[in-house]
Each structure stands twice: as structure tokens, then as C-alpha cells.
Chains A and B, each alone.
Chain A
Amino acid sequence: MKVLVAVKRVIDYNVKVRVKADNSDVDLANVKMALNPFCEIAIEEAVRLKEAGVADEVVVVSIGSKSCEEQIRTALALGADRGIRVDTEDAPDSLSVAKLLAKVVEKEAPGMVILGKQAIDSDNNQTGQMLAALLDRPQGTFASKVAVDGDKVQVTREIDGGLQTVELQMPAIVTTDLRLNEPRYASLPNIMKAKRKPLDLLTPDELGVAVSSNLTLLSVEPPAERQAGIKVSSVDELVEKLRNEAKVI
């Protein structure tokens, strides 16, 4: 079985986000970029499926400008076999990304597609579900466990209040939650090897997708700042304040 993993280049999760002075967007100039954490978990899961003999090839795909080849190489260093970049400018919206991915899936015909449940920049949590809809295939979102059994896969999902397990006919789309696995670090020899792994380039034209969007970003503002309050010196004072000043207990 072939596994396709879609990854996104995003701001490193340790970087403090700043809004541009003109409120047009977030300032990403000279900011450290990285593989989206949920995408890292997706790569790890695919590589584990290969190591377990369930998958025989892991293909990683990213959509964006040349700079996102850095993240494809990272995925290759973590164990993916080959990469595909779909060349676009800027960040297309979720629907466009899903349409492009659907075409890549048609070309590659994987048994499973694994994506992160959301990117930590746009926080949309949409692409996997949209891809599944466009392909008319079942989805296992927010996965904390993936178990392949013949032509079916059981996915345990993190839902509000607990866990839900569903059984999906493959090909299926899986999106990862935090507890699915703990991604490995790339070793130096693997980073070197990744440089020689194949990385193909596709264009939206070749895939027959017109990238456009009905969404317009009007402005971006920093959130309302919260003022620091006071320090209390004892539990007694805390309880007194909560009872009589804040009146919340």
C-alpha cells in the first residue's frame, strides 16, 4: 500500500506571532519556519506503517512556493520515500488545497492519505475533511490510533469527552491528533540521504485546478490584551477576594 502525506510549512510553534503595523496580516518576515507539528505526526505515522510492513511507499506532498521544499526535505529525512511540490504562490485557501490534493491523489492512487488535523497558522481544521468529500472517501479525523486490517482501517478519534472508533473502507483519509505518536528526530545520515531522494514538481495547470478564493482577508489585529491583576499573599486572601470582590464563588 502506498501512503500519501500532505504537509504544510508554517511559522515555528515557538515563535511569538506579531501583527503588522498596518494590520494587513501577521508579520512573517525573517521568522523561523518549520513543519506544522500535526504534519510531523502524520509523517511519523506513515513511516511507522511502512516499518510495520503495512505500507510499502510513503509519498509526501506540499503545496506552496519553492521555500516549502525545505519542509518536504525534512519529511524525507524522517523517512518518506519521495516528495511532490505543487507550485503555488502565497497560501491558497483550504478548498483550493483540497482540490489540488484530490488531483494528486487521483494520480498517485494511495491506499491512505494522512494529514495533520490543522495547521497552526490558519487554524482551519478543514483540508482533510474537504479532501475526503471531494474524493467521496471516508475520513477518520483527529486520530489517536490507526490500525489497518486488510482493506479496512480502524481509526480511534479524539472527540469531546472521550474516544470514538470508526471503521473505514480504504482508500481512506486520516487526520492526526496530538497523541497519535511521538515523532522521531531526523538523524544526520538520513538528512544527507534525503537530499538525494526524488522531489517532483507539479503545477495547478497540470493538475487542472484553477486556484482562486472567495475569501478576502480584510484585516488582522492583535487580540485584546489582558491586564495583569494583583498578587495575593495567602489562600485566605484569595478566597476572600473571590467571594467578595470578584463574586465568582
Chain B
Amino acid sequence: MTILVIAEHDNNELKPVTLNTLSAAQAIGGDIHLLVAGSGCQSVADAAAQIPAVAQVLVADNDAYEHQLAENVSKLVQGLAASYSHILGSSTTTAKNVLPRVAALLDVNQLSDVMAIESADTFKRPIYAGNAIATVKSADAIKVMTVRGTAFDPVEGTGGSAEVVNLSDVCDAGTSRFVNEEIAESERPELTAASIVISGGRGMGNGENFELLNKVADKLGAAVGASRAAVDAGFVPNDMQVGQTGKMVAPDLYIAVGISGAIQHLAGMKDSKIIVAINKDEEAPIFQVADYGLVADLFEAVPELEGKL
């Protein structure tokens, strides 16, 4: 049994979530190969080869893969698939874009957002925004799945020396073209990778008030998130949204500020180790999941908190 894991990267760096996905692959058992598809991605391949859990690194370095266009990468993976029992990617927008396409090309189903490995063919995954957990058994010849990074501890990143194999086949469907990318520049960690997250909800009142959270975040080295209510109200962009339809986070510390605690939001953060809620409404449902609740006006409490850190 050999497992293919798709590396998450930006052509320069291997993203840490890849280590979590490798951990899920280890739980399944068998040799693990890591595919680095990109352009000018040698540094990623070098980093990948150092991961002790990886037996072989497959490198597809070509312009066609520079922006991970699903049309091209899916055909590349399809061509490799016959040697593998499982194909795993992380639950990121990149893998969620590519892997269902791979599955359909292979005439198999995909298991999305797997959070536990029961055996080589049985897995747990959240449904209904995490309000229910399904145990699913797959009889497909090749199991294609995306893995929720926060559910698996990362494997070691260095100390290994995997064999590196360069792939020469180029799959260019020619039907799609990258135009541009606007990546929010931030000194802060990425939401899904941060060990501390501070999020604001409708109670923040407007987008400018998020500056209060930014100040606390800078002191704690935290990422800043938001509830869907705050995103829908136009306070902050969608990529900050934590919840069922946004990002799933599970940091060591999650601070919810002015967030009532709708089911949709709780789905995205309830696996956090410690949850703090600051809300002036003591009946807010967020207090039912919070380890520490502070009933207070956020416009007083948050600056005070910043001052005391």
C-alpha cells in the first residue's frame, strides 16, 4: 500500500499543513510519496525530501503547474494514480479545487475534510457544519480525500532524506489561464496555522474597530478572524471568516470578541484548546462553549486587555 500526498506550497515554501496531512497518511499506514507540482519549486522539493515520513518526493516542475490550475494538476495526478491506494490533500482551497476533479477522473468518490482515520478504508468526517460526525466506509479502489489539518498533529519536518524523482510529463489542458492574485499582505500568522486567534463579530460595530483586535493580536502574535455576521455586514473581508462556510481553526487560544456564537461560527472554532469570550450579553450562546467568559463592553475590555499583555 502506497499513499500519495499532494504538497501544499507557493513554489517557494512548503506549507506546514502538509505535515499534518502526512500525519493522516501515516495513520493509514504504508509508504508515503509526496507530490510537489509547481514551477521553479526546487526549494519546496528540497524541504519535502527532508521529511522523515516521506519515502519519495515526486517533482513536477513546469509552467503549467505554477498556479496549481485544477485542469492541469488533476490530469497530472490522474496519470500517477494507478500506483497508489490513497491520494491525500489538505483541506485548503487549493486541494479542495483539485482533488474532487482527480476523483471524478478516476471514477471514484472523494471524502472531504477527513478528521479521523479508523482504518485504511473507514474514516470520520464532519457533516452539517460539524453538528454531526459521519463514519464512512469506502469501497473505491483508490481513496481520494482531503484532510482537516487541525485534526492531526504534524509529523517531523527535518532529519530525513527521501529519494527525489523528477517527472517529465506535462499536462496542460489549455482551457484555463491564471490572470492575477491578490494575497492580503500581513505580518500576522495565517488563521489556520496560528496558535492564538482573536476574532470579532457584529458587536465590533464597524471595520475600523477591528484595529482594537489587531493591537491585541500584535502583542500575542495572533491571527485575526471574524464571524460571518461581521463579514456579511461588510466590516472585514471574507478570507477572515471563521465558521462553517469559512475557515476551520483549532488554536491553543481562541478569543471571541462581540461574537454571539451562532452554530455556523461555533462549527469553525469549537475544537480550540482554550476559548475566551468577551461579550456584553451574558445570555450569548458563546458563553456555553467558553472556558473563560467575560461579560463586559468590548470597547472597554479589549483596550484594557491590550494594556495588560
Contacts and interface: CB of A to CB of B under 8 A. Distances in A.
A136 B104 CA distance: 10
A165 B67 CA distance: 11
Interface residues of A, number: 79
A180 B57 CA distance: 38
A241 B97 CA distance: 42
B181 to A, nearest CB: 5
Nearest to B15: A160
A94 B136 contact: no
Given A129-B100, A179-B238, A162 B184 contact: yes
B227 interface: no
A192 interface: no
A27 to B, nearest CB: 10
B149 to A, nearest CB: 11
Given A123-B127, A220-B127, A231-B294, A248 B176 contact: no
Contact of A238 (B96, B138, B294): B294
Interface string A11-36: 10100110100000010000000000
B270 interface: yes
A158 B238 contact: yes
Contact of B71 (A127, A139, A236, A238): A139
A228 B132 contact: no
B101 A26 contact: no
Contacts of B183: 161-162
Given A120-B128, A235-B308, A228 B289 contact: yes
Nearest to B289: A226
A74 interface: no
B264 interface: yes
A17 to B, nearest CB: 4
Given A125-B112, A129-B101, 16 more contacts: A16-B131, A17-B128, A129-B97, A129-B100, A132-B71, A139-B101, A162-B239, A164-B181, A166-B69, A167-B178, A213-B109, A216-B139, A217-B134, A231-B287, A246-B253, A249-B253
Interface of A: 11, 13, 16-17, 19, 26, 38, 93-95, 98, 118, 120-134, 136-139, 141-142, 144, 154, 157-169, 177-179, 213-223, 226, 228-236, 238-239, 241-242, 246, 248-249
Interface of B: 67, 69-71, 74, 92-94, 96-105, 107-113, 122, 126-140, 173, 175-184, 190, 192, 196, 220, 228, 231-232, 238-239, 241, 244-245, 247, 252-253, 263-264, 270, 273-276, 282, 287-296, 301, 304-305, 308-309
The 10 tightest CB contacts between A and B, nearest first, are A229-B291, A129-B100, A130-B104, A133-B104, A126-B100, A162-B183, A138-B176, A17-B131, A165-B179, A138-B175
